[in-house]
Every structure is written in structure tokens, then in C-alpha cells.
Amino acid sequence: MQRCYFTLFFVLIFSCGQREISDENQKFLDLIKIDSLQINDLEYKLMGVSQIQLIGDSLVAVSSHRKSSIAIINIQSGEIVSAISDGEILDINFIPAAFSILEYPIIKILDSRSNSILVFDILKKEFRSKINLEIPSSKMIRYIQSGFKETNDGFIIELYPRDLDNNDPEFYKKSGDLFGLFSQDGTLSHTFGQYPVELQNLESPISPYRTFTQNFEINSLWIGFPASRELQEINLEDGEILNSLKIPITSRFFDFEPKYLQEKINVNFDRYLDFPTSHYFDNIFESDKRIYISTWIRNNQNLKSFSAASHLFVFEKKSNTWYETTDTFKPDQFGRFLGEIKDTLYFYEGSMMKYDDKYIKRAVLKPIEK
């Protein structure tokens, strides 16, 4: 069984990196901080945050892979509304590979250990049901940050190869279909989706990384592949591609190309942090006017001291125009991007691997002249 090594990139200390502008037609936005609200997390002590989702205009759901828990936070007051943890309810164990909370307070947790979806009422702290998933024998549910989308008729779930070596350049070509379409009772109806050709035709090994991410808003599914500079809008009923958006700009900071290695990593002796890491998309959020992509950008120039930063790509639907923020930011400046509420951007800022002060931060984007 292959382990998922990209979780290593959420650790240690982060710093900014910058590259020269090379696209004369590129457009930029200033990210301007409005305020910061401290979260009252004295009881739950969330650590190792893996997934974050906005719920309406006032709440955010946060999952922790280190504590195997999910908390609901009021972004207006900073109070934790409710939370559930591994083994807390009826001794039911889970590791939140992903979750869906489109029908709040009902939460559906994708659990990799049991190959199932566990359904809870997170406010009442009640267990509702368990949906056993028909996962193919050659596939598995990824341990953390798995692709997962609830639809009107069931679920779309990432199918990760069980027995392939993800350090092998052939991994992405041999992986087969990326996603499965499951009915509400967990039956697999069909599979779909492939890694982009840029990953299937690798010339040399690369360090395993987060090759795609998705949005979580209701009634849409966008999957972003940094290697192909592409966002794909997926039909929730059959998995077909409805629309494709290419990111045409040459980024000031983000390198879309996978980082090649001279030789394959030896998992028994090598540390992944000692090798260059491809940049990746951390989160996608779609509003009425825009599509946002938050990024994770490692500084590969100095591998002895791990450092990384983030920034935003922004697609304006009306003008069909791509922007990016003028600067990168460290996690303690803004944190991880949550989404947009009435043109205000929300971020969750907190330590990835240990308990520390945590904040909800707000910001706005301001167009600038280059």
C-alpha cells in the first residue's frame, strides 16, 4: 500500500519566494488585509488541519488529520460551535480523508480505514448511518485530502492506486481512472478521469505531490491540475468534462512544471524534504463572479531549510480574464484560503502540525496598474 507523502509539505517554517514578471499582458491584484479574529480553541486544540470548507456566510468546517476530528467554527465570533472526534460517538473510529457538509448539520465523513462514508449530525453529536463503498481491489481511499464530492444522486470519490510505486515516473500513466461515481448506497457505477499527459509522459522521476485539487461549493465541481495549467468543470451526473479553463499567464511566482529528480527517491533512506517539490494548488473556490485558486509554492532554491508560501490566481468570469496577486504570503500572514463572502476573502490561519493560536482573517482584492 502506497503512503501519501505530500502531507510532509505542511510542516516547519515558511517564507516567501518571487520570480520576475515575464508576461507584459499580465494583470495583478493587491491582497489587502482587513482584520483578524482569534478562534477560541482551548478545548479542542485542532492540529494538523487538512481540509477547510465554508458553510453559508457564518461558519467554517475544519478537519484535523492528527487528531482525527472535525470542528465547526463561527467566523463572526471565533467560537467553536461543535466538534466530533475519532471514537467520541459510540466508539466509532474514523480518519477524515475528506468530508461533505452540504446538508449542515449533517456531515458525511469519507473514512479510508473502513472504506465507507460515516454520517453524523455534528450539532447533536449523533451517528446516523454508515455507507459501505464498493472500492475496486486495485484502488484505495487516500488517507488525507482525498477527492470527494457529494452529488444529488451519490458521490464522486478519488480512487488512488493501491499497489503502484508513486515514486516511479510510470505511476501516473499506469494509475487508470482517477475517480469513481458511487450511488447513495455505495455502489460503484463507473469510473472516469485521467492524470494529464504532462504527468503521464514524465521524462524523469518527480517527488510525489498534490497533483490536483477541487472546489466544494454545491452544484459544481472544478478540478485543477497545475501540471497542465488547467481547470476542468465536471458533470456531477456522469463525470464528463463540461468546460475547461487554461491558465495562460506566466506566473510571477508559481511554476507549473513538475520538478524533475535525477533519480527515483528511495523511501527507505531518503527524506522527501531533501528533494525539490512541485508547486501545487491548495484550494479552489467558485463565487458568482470569480473562480479562485490558492497555491502552495515551495522554495526549491534552498533545500536545507524548508520554506514555502502561497498566493492566489483569480479568474474574472465576466471579462474572461486571469489575475494573480502581486505578492506571495506566508501562512502566518493570511493562512489558508477559505473562500469569498460578498467580495470579502476569508482565510484560516493556524499551525499545521501543532496546537497554536488560530485566527479567521479577512481581506479584499484591489486591482492595480502594473
Give residue 26's pLDDT: 79
With respect to residue 143, please indicate whether it lies within any of the assigned structural domains. yes
Question: Which of 106, 103, 102, 100 lies closest to 82 in space, CA to CA?
Answer: 106
Classify residue 359 by burial, with Cβ atoms within 10 Å: 0-12, 13-18, 19+: middle
Please tell me the total count of domains within the chain: 1
With respect to residue 225, please indicate whether it lies within any of the assigned structural domains. yes
Give residue 49's pLDDT: 84
Model confidence at 24: pLDDT above 80: no
pLDDT band (50, 70, 90) for residue 158 = very high
Cell of 244: 475547461
Question: Which of 83, 90, 43, 37 lies closest to 64 in space, CA to CA?
Answer: 83
Report, as an integer, the average pLDDT of 172-182: 97
With respect to residue 2, please indicate whether it lies within any of the assigned structural domains. no
With respect to residue 230, please indicate whether it lies within any of the assigned structural domains. yes
Of the listed ranges 169-183, 219-233, 268-282, the one predicted with least confidence:
268-282
With respect to residue 227, please indicate whether it lies within any of the assigned structural domains. yes
pTM greater than 0.75: yes
Inter-residue contact 296 to 279 (CB < 8 Å): yes
With respect to residue 3, please indicate whether it lies within any of the assigned structural domains. no
Model confidence at 114: pLDDT above 50: yes
Residue range of the domain that includes 183: 26-367
With respect to residue 349, please indicate whether it lies within any of the assigned structural domains. yes
CATH code assigned at 352:
2.120.10.30
CB atoms within 10 A of CB 76: 11
Give residue 4's pLDDT: 42
With respect to residue 309, please indicate whether it lies within any of the assigned structural domains. yes
Classify residue 163 by burial, with Cβ atoms within 10 Å: 0-12, 13-18, 19+: exposed
